[in-house]
Amino acid sequence: MPRSKWNLLSLLACCLFAQNSFGFSPVIFIPGDGGSQLEAKLNKSSVVHYICAKTSNEFFNIWLNLELLVPFVIDCWVDNLRLEYDNVTRTTKAPVGVDIRVPGWGNSEPVEWLDPSHESSGAYFNTIADALAKIGYIRNVSLRGAPYDFRKAPNENEEFFVKLKVLVEETYTMNNKTAVTLVVHSMGGSMALHFLRLQTQSWKDQYIRRMISLSTPWGGAMKALKVFAIGDDLGSMMLSESTLRTQQITCPSLAWLIPSPLFWKPSEVLVQTDKYNYTISDLQKLFTDMEVPNAWEMRKDTEKYTQDFSPPGVELHCLYGYNISTVEKLVYKPGTWLDGYPTLAAGDGDGTVNARSLAACERWAKRRARATLNGKPVKALALPNAEHLKILHDQRVVDYVVTVMQL
Instruction: Find the largest Cα–Cα distance for the chain.
Output: 66
Residue 112 placed within a domain: yes
Catalytic residue list: 186, 350, 388
Length of the chain: 407
Domain count, the chain: 1
Give the long-range contacts of residues 120-126, CB within 8 A, separation 24 or more: 121/64, 121/66, 122/64, 122/66, 123/392, 123/393, 124/31, 124/35, 124/185, 124/392, 125/29, 125/31, 125/183, 125/185, 125/392
Answer yes or no: are the C-beta atoms of 188 and 213 closer than 8 Å: no
Residue 368 placed within a domain: yes
CA angle 158, 159, 162 (to 5 degrees): 95
Nearest to 129 by CA among 403, 407, 392, 396: 392
**Residues contacting residue 307 through CB under 8 Å, at least 6 positions apart:** 260, 261, 262
Residue 93 placed within a domain: no
Residue 72 placed within a domain: no
Domain carrying residue 230: 25-31+104-405
What is each CA distance from 38 to 116, 219, 236, 312, in whole angstroms?
10, 26, 20, 28
Nearest to 314 by CA among 162, 159, 180, 121: 180
Reported pTM: 0.92
Q: What is the pLDDT along the chain (407 residues), one digit of tens a residue?
A: 444 434 454 444 334 333 333 358 999 999 999 999 999 999 999 999 999 999 999 999 999 999 999 889 999 999 999 999 999 999 999 999 999 999 999 999 999 999 998 988 899 999 999 999 999 999 999 999 999 999 999 999 999 999 999 999 999 999 999 999 999 999 999 999 999 999 999 999 999 999 999 999 999 999 999 999 999 988 776 788 999 999 999 999 999 999 999 999 999 999 999 999 999 999 999 999 999 999 999 999 999 999 889 999 999 999 999 999 999 999 999 988 898 899 999 999 999 999 999 999 999 988 755 544 456 899 999 999 999 999 999 999 999 999 999 98
Bridging pattern class, strands 326-331 and 269-272? parallel
Nearest to 99 by CA among 80, 86, 76: 80
Dist CA 220 CA 272 (whole Å) = 19
Dist CA 229 CA 222 (whole Å) = 11
Nearest to 29 by CA among 116, 108, 139: 108
Residue 281 placed within a domain: yes
CATH of the domain at 245: 3.40.50.1820
Answer yes or no: are the C-beta atoms of 330 and 342 closer than 8 Å: yes
Dist CA 48 CA 76 (whole Å) = 7
Residue 80 placed within a domain: no
Residue 330 placed within a domain: yes
